[in-house]
Amino acid sequence: MNDYDDIIRHPHFVYPRRRPMPRQNRAAQFAPFAALTGYDEEIGEAGRLTEQRHALTEDEQDALNLAVQQLLNCGEQPHITVIYFEPDARKNGGAYRKCCGHFRRIDYETGKLIFTERHAVSLKWIVRIVFDDMENENK
């Protein structure tokens, strides 16, 4: 005779005044939990790479100033590519980005270069301006 032979064939007891808990809720009681909430996000954030901003040389600064002057003296809206540094909001460094479009104007109040496509790039982060129309003519 086994230890549980006296109760093994009895029906499962159900409280008459309470409904049984749904299976999904019962399973949730025994599901694993994250003891360190946010740990996976922190690991991902720490592993995300950023670049450091490089200071412009005098020649690069002169070329950038010349490109800005050309933009201001240009009577039309040239198609340009702006290479700029975008600082990271959560850690040191950032990333170099490109923004292409037609130049509209420079907003001196906000310090931004505005495109006709409604993009805007802060002047202080611009590294290089390439005139796409002139580049295509030279090819």
CATH of the domain at 107: 2.30.30
- Is 58's pLDDT higher than 80? yes
Would you say residue 5 lies in a domain?
no
Concatenated DSSP letters of 58-122: HHHHHHHHHHHHHHHH-SS--EEEEEEEEE-SSSS-EEEEEEEEEEEEEETTTTEEEETTS-EEE
Mean pLDDT to the nearest integer, 64-70: 94
Would you say residue 114 lies in a domain?
yes
In this prediction, residue 34 has a pLDDT band, given cuts at 50, 70 and 90, of: low
| Phi, psi dihedrals of residue 84, rounded to the nearest 5° | -140, 160
Q: Is the dihedral of CA 70, 111, 107, 50 positive or negative?
A: positive
Would you say residue 8 lies in a domain?
no
Q: Whole-angstrom Cα distance, residue 112 to residue 116?
A: 13
137 HSE (CA, 13 A, CB side): 7
Would you say residue 84 lies in a domain?
yes
Would you say residue 48 lies in a domain?
no
Percent of the chain having pLDDT more than 90?
A: 53
| Domain, as residue range, for 109 | 58-138
Q: Is-above-0.85 flag for pTM?
A: no
Would you say residue 29 lies in a domain?
no
Mean pLDDT to the nearest integer, 13-18: 86
Q: Return the pLDDT at 47.
A: 85
Mean pLDDT to the nearest integer, 19-48: 80
Number of domains making up the chain: 1
Residue partners of 111: CB distance under 8 A and separation at least 6: 122, 123, 124
Would you say residue 7 lies in a domain?
no
Q: Return the pLDDT at 134.
A: 59
Q: Which of these ranges, 12-21, 55-64, 107-116, 117-126, has the smallest mean pLDDT?
A: 12-21
Would you say residue 127 lies in a domain?
yes
